């Protein structure tokens, strides 16, 4: 591959990764055992003997951020209508209680010179979801990343999720869903474009 071809590939297919320290699973297992014991649980029973190990591996899996290639293509058709991918699964952890929140993301944009490979929408959501955080931050990070990678005319992201820190403890509001949005460019500034995007995401919710 020529240097020019390699440069073009790196430009239009950048590797997106997150600097992350490797997990120390042995230390995590010991810490999990200490936590469960401190909570009064008998981890020496047959039923829970392997629980600290499983717990450590489960959290390590949920908190390992997956790298991906953010492949884009030239917008050769000069497509200028909304591109929207709905119901992308979201699985993340609340940074305040380290309990999961689960739901869906709707991610859309008005194309400029580049368009995004469709499979990259879900990979982008996974990339930002697999870390402890707030739903508000997650929503904004997805939108900012899409804007940075594509320089589109507009970007819109809506995330709907149920937080187990609210449904399983505290107020125990089972079934309550939190909805957050982040809109940039035309999808924020133009009232009709904003209304079209939000109506499509609301329409999908009503259909469910």
**Residues acting as catalytic residues:** 94-97, 135, 163, 165
C-beta separation of 154 from 199 below 8 A? no
Structure tokens at 72: 């884009």
Compute the distance between CA of residue 10 and CA of residue 52 in angstroms, rounded to an integer.
42
Compute the distance between CA of residue 16 and CA of residue 124 in angstroms, rounded to an integer.
9
Percent helix, strand and coil across the chain, each to the nearest 5: 40, 25, 30
Beta bridge partners of 185: 154
- Cα Rg, the chain, nearest whole Å: 20
Residue tagged 């810490």 (tokens): 31
C-beta separation of 129 from 91 below 8 A? yes
DSSP assigned state of 96: T
What SS3 state is found at 27? helix
Compute the distance between CA of residue 30 and CA of residue 133 in angstroms, rounded to an integer.
24
Compute the distance between CA of residue 52 and CA of residue 49 in angstroms, rounded to an integer.
7
């Amino acid at each position: 591959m020529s240097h020019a071809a390699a440069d073009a590939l790196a430009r239009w297919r950048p590797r997106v990764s997150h600097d992350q320290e490797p997990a120390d699973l042995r230390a995590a297992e010991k810490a999990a055992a200490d936590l469960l014991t401190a909570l009064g649980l008998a981890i020496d029973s047959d039923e829970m003997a392997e629980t600290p190990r499983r717990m450590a591996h489960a959290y390590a899996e949920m908190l390992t951020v997956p790298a991906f290639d953010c492949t884009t293509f030239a917008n050769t058709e000069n497509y200028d209508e909304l591109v929207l991918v709905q119901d992308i699964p979201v699985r993340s952890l609340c940074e305040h209680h380290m309990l999961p929140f689960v739901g869906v993301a709707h991610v859309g944009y008005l194309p400029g010179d580049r368009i995004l490979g469709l499979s990259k929408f879900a990979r982008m959501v996974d990339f930002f979801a697999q870390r402890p955080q707030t739903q508000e931050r997650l929503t904004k990070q997805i939108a900012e990343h899409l804007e940075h990678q594509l320089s589109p005319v507009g970007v819109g992201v809506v995330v709907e999720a149920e937080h187990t820190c609210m449904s399983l403890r505290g107020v125990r509001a089972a079934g309550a869903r939190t909805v957050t949005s982040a809109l940039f460019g035309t999808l924020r500034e133009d009232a009709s474009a904003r209304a079209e995007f939000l109506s499509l995401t609301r329409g999908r919710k009503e259909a469910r």
